[in-house]
Structure 1
Amino acid sequence: MNRSRRLLPLLCACAAPCPAVGGQAVMEGVMMRNGDVYGLAVRQPDGGILARRLPWFSLTRRPWLRMPFVRGFPILLETLVNGIRALNRSVEMADGGNGDASVLSPWHAALSLGLALLMAVGLFVVAPHLMSLAMLALGLGGDVEGLTFHLWDGFYKCCIFVGYIWLISLVPEIRRVFQYHGAEHKTIHAFESGSVVEPERVRRMSRLHPRCGTTFLLFVICISIILQALLVPLLLAFWTPQGAVAKHALSIGFKLLLVIPISALAYELIRYAARLPDGPRASLLRAPGLALQRLTAHEPDERQMEVAVVALAEALGRDADAEIRTPPYARL
Structure 2
Amino acid sequence: FNTSKRKGITSLPLIRGVIAFVDSMVLGIKSLTYSASFFEDEDYEEQPSKFDEFLEKKFGEKAENFIMGVVVAISVVISVALFMMLPLAIADLLKKHVGGVTETMVPAIEGLAKIFIFLVYLLLISQMKDIKRTFMYHGAEHKCINCLETGNELTVDNVRAASRYHKRCGTSFLFFVIFISIIFFIFIRTDNVAMRYLIRIALIPVIAGISYECIRFAGVRDNIIVTIISAPGKFIQKITTKEPTDDMIEVGIAAVEAVFDWREYLRGNGIYVPEPVNDKYVLDEEDGYYE
TM-score (norm 1): 0.70
Partner of 2:28: 83
Partner of 2:105: 148
Q: Is the 8 A contact 1:216 1:267 kept in 2?
A: yes
Q: Is the 8 A contact 2:152 2:158 kept in 1?
A: no
The higher radius of gyration belongs to 2
Distance (whole Å) between structure 2 residues aligned to residue 227 and residue 285 of structure 1: 17
Distance (whole Å) between structure 2 residues aligned to residue 297 and residue 229 of structure 1: 32
Gaps of 5+ in 2: 49-61, 267-272, 280-291
Residue identity opposite 1:148 in structure 2: M
Structure number with higher relative contact order (C-alpha < 8 Å, ≥ 6 residues apart): 1
Partner of 2:202: 257
Task: Report the alpha carbon displacement of residue 321 of structure 1 after superposing the two structures with TM.
Answer: 4.4
Distance (whole Å) between structure 1 residues aligned to residue 106 and residue 75 of structure 2: 27
SS of aligned partner of 2:153: coil
Partner of 1:302: 246
Partner of 1:281: 225
Candidates 80, 86, 89, aligned match of 1:130: 89
Residue identity opposite 2:243 in structure 1: E
Partner of 2:12: 67
Distance (whole Å) between structure 1 residues aligned to residue 149 and residue 39 of structure 2: 28
Candidates 198, 213, 221, aligned match of 2:170: 213
Gaps of 5+ in 1: 1-17, 21-34, 37-60, 241-246
Distance (whole Å) between structure 2 residues aligned to residue 155 and residue 169 of structure 1: 21
Task: Report the alpha carbon displacement of residue 62 of structure 1 after superposing the two structures with TM.
Answer: 4.0
Q: Does 1:291 align with 2:235?
A: yes
Q: Percent identity?
A: 28
Task: Report the alpha carbon displacement of residue 127 of structure 1 after superposing the two structures with TM.
Answer: 0.8
SS of aligned partner of 2:15: coil
Task: Report the alpha carbon displacement of residue 294 of structure 1 after superposing the two structures with TM.
Answer: 0.6
SS of aligned partner of 2:14: coil
* 4+ residue segments displaced more than 3 Å: 93-97, 101-104, 140-143, 317-328
Distance 1:325 1:167, change over 3 A: farther
Distance (whole Å) between structure 2 residues aligned to residue 92 and residue 306 of structure 1: 21
Distance (whole Å) between structure 1 residues aligned to residue 81 and residue 100 of structure 2: 22
Distance (whole Å) between structure 2 residues aligned to residue 318 and residue 292 of structure 1: 28
Distance (whole Å) between structure 1 residues aligned to residue 129 and residue 221 of structure 2: 36
Candidates 117, 121, 128, aligned match of 1:171: 128
- The answer to which structure has the higher helix fraction is 2
Task: Report the alpha carbon displacement of residue 69 of structure 1 after superposing the two structures with TM.
Answer: 2.4
Partner of 2:137: 180
Q: Size of the alignment, in residue pairs?
A: 255
Distance (whole Å) between structure 2 residues aligned to residue 326 and residue 78 of structure 1: 36
Candidates 100, 107, 122, aligned match of 2:66: 107
Distance (whole Å) between structure 2 residues aligned to residue 327 and residue 126 of structure 1: 55
